[in-house]
């Protein structure tokens, strides 16, 4: 198994997930992984694949929320030459690329209804047609889906097909948020401290007061937020011992204190006045960065969190000088 695919934690919840992964890996059953953003849904899917007889074959992830709906069908099923303007050559889709392996449909709750019908057919018949094609293409592929939504509620609201839900929900895997397994915080912190020490040439020391702050925080961004926080501490700390001031204020003072970071501490509107446009600009920038970090820099999800569309978010990022986050290949749960 790849050394960068590892599940950290000794809590009863994690032990149950380990056991379920082992059972699922022995089968070809469709699985539905449910959990909040940042809990490690893709990692669990990879673990199932890597422990299965399909481990030598492709693992193909598709983030249904990150790909514009008008392009998603082509990404999934491919297209034939001339199928639409710009289709100058035939192209296989992700289902073809995953043949004999596993396809991971992340954030399937965001998939448009018209594509849900086609996914249902693939599950039932293991066949589909490319866009512009008429020849059925047979595939031998295992389907694992994931969502951070309550799909039963989505079904009731008419946003998700009930028949597809039951086809996907053969074996549900529910990943608990970090706040419900606080005993895993210490081993996770130790892992991330060790990981980033290789890049920074020294190892941070997390004092008992720092760990107390971490244990009292609810981690809405889950393991991904914890990883980002440890990296931030490495960047901002001057020595091996963590400076409490470098810990985000929402962790030090509670999640409702996020607005404390938006206005400079030395701001004194009574004596010198303020530059309202500049303050609002910084406010907007910090809110956008907060949303991007919280959602793993998936712009469509960050935009949804901010109640704006993806194009507007990209325009604001350019205007505010926010560049795409550098992602690493290593993953952690």
pLDDT at position 271: 47
Q: Give yes or no for residue 326 having a pLDDT over 50.
A: no
Tell me how far CA of residue 27 lies from CA of 68, 144, 156, 171, 292, in angstroms. 32, 12, 30, 11, 36
Higher pLDDT, 68 or 254: 68
Nearest CA to 34 out of 176, 205, 174 is that of 174
pLDDT at position 137: 94
Q: Give yes or no for residue 12 having a pLDDT over 80.
A: yes
pLDDT at position 201: 81
The winner for highest mean pLDDT among 4-8, 19-23, 285-289 is 19-23
Nearest CA to 106 out of 17, 34, 28, 178 is that of 34
Q: What is the mean predicted confidence (pLDDT) over 9-14? A: 93
Instruction: Grade residue 327 by pLDDT with cuts at 50, 70 and 90.
Output: very low
Q: Average per-residue pLDDT in the chain?
A: 87
Q: What is the mean predicted confidence (pLDDT) over 86-99? A: 88
Nearest CA to 116 out of 167, 67, 157, 79 is that of 167
Instruction: Grade residue 273 by pLDDT with cuts at 50, 70 and 90.
Output: low
% of the chain exceeding 90 in pLDDT: 58
> Could you tell me the pTM of the whole model?
0.75
DSSP code string of 211-268: HHHHHHS--TTHHHHHHHHHHHHHHH-SSSBPPGGGS-HHHHH-GGGGGGGTS-TT--
Q: Give yes or no for residue 225 having a pLDDT over 60.
A: yes
Q: Give yes or no for residue 14 having a pLDDT over 50.
A: yes
Q: What is the rounded CA–CA span in Å between residue 112 and residue 96?
A: 21
pLDDT at position 302: 86
Residues 211-224: tens digit of each pLDDT: 999 999 999 999 99
pLDDT at position 76: 95
Higher pLDDT, 70 or 22: 22
Residues 156-208: tens digit of each pLDDT: 999 999 999 999 999 899 999 999 999 999 999 999 999 999 888 888 999 88
Residues 229-253: tens digit of each pLDDT: 999 999 888 778 887 778 888 898 7
Q: Which domains does the chain have, with CATH numbers?
A: 12-176 (3.40.50.300), 179-261 (1.10.8.60), 274-333 (1.10.10.60)
Q: What is the mean predicted confidence (pLDDT) over 84-97? A: 85
End-to-end CA gap in the chain? 15
Q: What is the rounded CA–CA span in Å between residue 29 and residue 172?
A: 11
């Amino acid at each position: 198994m790849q050394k960068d695919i590892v599940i950290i934690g000794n809590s009863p919840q994690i032990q149950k997930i380990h056991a379920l992964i082992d059972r699922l890996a022995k089968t070809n059953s469709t699985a539905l992984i449910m959990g909040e953003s940042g809990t490690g849904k893709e990692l669990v899917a990879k673990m199932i694949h890597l422990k299965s007889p399909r481990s030598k074959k492709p693992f193909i992830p598709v983030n249904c929320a990150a790909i514009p709906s008008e392009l998603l069908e082509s990404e999934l099923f491919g297209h034939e030459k001339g199928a639409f303007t710009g289709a100058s050559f035939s192209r296989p889709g992700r289902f073809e690329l995953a043949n004999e392996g596993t396809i991971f449909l992340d954030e399937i709750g965001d998939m448009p209804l018209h594509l849900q019908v086609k996914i249902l057919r693939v599950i039932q018949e293991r066949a589909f047609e490319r866009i512009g094609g008429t020849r059925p293409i047979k595939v031998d592929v295992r389907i694992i889906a994931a969502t951070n939504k309550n799909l039963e509620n989505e079904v009731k609201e008419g946003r998700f097909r009930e028949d597809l839900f039951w086809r996907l929900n053969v074996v549900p895997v529910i990943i608990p948020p970090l706040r419900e397994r606080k005993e895993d915080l210490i081993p996770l912190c130790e892992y991330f401290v060790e990981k980033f020490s290789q890049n920074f040439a020294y190892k941070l020391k997390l004092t008992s007061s720092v760990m107390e702050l971490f244990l009292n925080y609810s981690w809405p961004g889950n393991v991904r937020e914890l990883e980002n926080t440890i990296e931030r501490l490495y960047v901002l700390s001057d020595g091996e011992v963590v400076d409490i001031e470098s810990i985000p204020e929402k962790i030090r003072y509670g999640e409702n204190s996020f607005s404390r970071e938006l206005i400079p501490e030395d701001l004194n509107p009574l004596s010198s006045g303020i530059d309202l446009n500049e303050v609002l600009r910084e406010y907007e920038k910090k809110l956008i960065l907060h949303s991007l970090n919280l959602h793993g820099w998936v712009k469509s999800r960050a935009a949804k969190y901010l109640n704006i569309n993806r194009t507007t978010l990209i325009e604001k990022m350019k205007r505010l000088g926010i560049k795409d986050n550098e992602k690493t290949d290593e993953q952690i749960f």
